[in-house]
Chains A and B, each alone.
Chain A
């Protein structure tokens, strides 16, 4: 009986350790403060229909942004993306995307998102960010659906937060309406953001 009791104690202990290891280490809510997006651990991706047959995925390699998280719910976000940094894994296509046919990067070198309002759920987590996107010289309201990923201290003494943000917009709304048949009008945006507290 003693060996069975020891065995069950050991089993319980092992299960407890396993649960403890499986629990995310950074399940806390993000601390208020000013944050700067870390481009080395963030991505800005988009996908668009090609001929209605598949989705082409591309990204922007050069961007920066700031988050200001406040305890009173009036947080704000701004992200600036260099349109010439578009990368779709094909140099000629990248050049074409930078041309007057699409982004016209020489004339419109940046696209910029500035938030107006952040909406929260009952748990106090952000769920939507409403803001204005300036793209191709046109400014339109855009809503990002936001999902917190995590928050906490990093091994170098800093404090980081992470979010996933998604949205869908129409390129024709921003004056980019060349080749509507071959290239879809709907652009799905996905931002994976990691930001460092300043």
Chain B
């Protein structure tokens, strides 16, 4: 029963249920706010972690502030040609803040490489969103990558990071299910919600790499799943699932094959 109330309820059941309600409301009322997805994930975040420290002490303590900052930044009017640079720069600042405690006393070349890889992937993945062009399968592909990363993180080093990523997948679940329906025209997921979910997922991946020792190779596969769906012209559901699914499953398989499988829980 403890497992249900401490893990499954906040990490999966509650965000998925709320996401289904939110997606239905979006469909019926044509609501385009990103606050709904943000709120669902933040409910899980505070439920799993408790109230965060102020000032933030650990990397995950920054995530709710990053969310608020991103939403605020997304509504600031700016010249469109600088929009991508501005938000990519903001992502770099987020990752630098996350990595700062480690950079202070153990700044290594690998840390710098991980930083550059995630910033580059992030910049590539958000470009289309900034132009207002969410792909038709944004929620589904992000849900696949988030869910895959949730398992990778939980198996590979940090159950908490895995739960937060799983909650993100569940928060997108309602919209992802809509994208599976035939004969629907476009994604229901608001562009700003896709942007926010992308930023959170990138930050969670970076935390897993820097603090939980997840291998860069595994991270690179998951980032590829996220980026390719945004960069390549995706023409159908099957193509979207394959582009997201193959690298995600590969990352999972790589981790499972290289990890010690004995249980210690």
Contacts and interface: CB of A to CB of B under 8 A. Distances in A.
A92 B53 CA distance: 28
A101 B57 contact: no
Interface in A113-136: none
A104 B208 CA distance: 11
Number of chain B interface residues as a range: 20 to 34
Interface stretch (A30-38, A61-69, A161-169, A178-186): A178-186
Interface in A134-157: 137
A106 interface: yes
A15 to B, nearest CB: 54
A92 B158 CA distance: 11
A106 B211 contact: yes
Interface in A81-117: 90-93, 95-96, 98-101, 104, 106-107, 109
Given A100-B60, A100-B161, A182 B265 contact: yes
Interface string A167-194: 0000000010111111000000000000
B157 A175 contact: no
Number of chain A interface residues as a range: 20 to 34
A137 B57 contact: yes
Contacts of B57: 137, 175
B264 A92 contact: yes
Nearest to B59: A100
B160 A178 contact: yes
Interface in A2-60: none
B264 A107 contact: no
A104 B158 CA distance: 10
A93 B264 contact: yes
B212 A99 contact: yes
A52 B166 CA distance: 28
Interface stretch (B89-97, B99-107, B244-252): B99-107
Contacts of A177: 50
Contacts of B264: 90, 92-93, 96
Contacts of A137: 57-58
A100 B50 contact: no
B211 A107 contact: yes
B80 interface: no
The 9 lowest CB-CB distance pairs between A and B, nearest first, are: A181-B2, A93-B264, A107-B101, A99-B158, A99-B212, A90-B264, A100-B211, A101-B160, A99-B157
Interface of B: 2, 6, 50, 53, 57-60, 101-102, 105-106, 157-161, 207, 210-213, 259-260, 262, 264-265
26 contacts: A92-B262, A95-B157, A96-B157, A96-B158, A96-B159, A96-B264, A98-B213, A99-B157, A99-B158, A99-B213, A100-B160, A100-B207, A104-B58, A104-B211, A106-B101, A106-B102, A106-B106, A106-B210, A107-B211, A109-B106, A137-B57, A179-B6, A179-B159, A180-B6, A181-B6, A182-B2
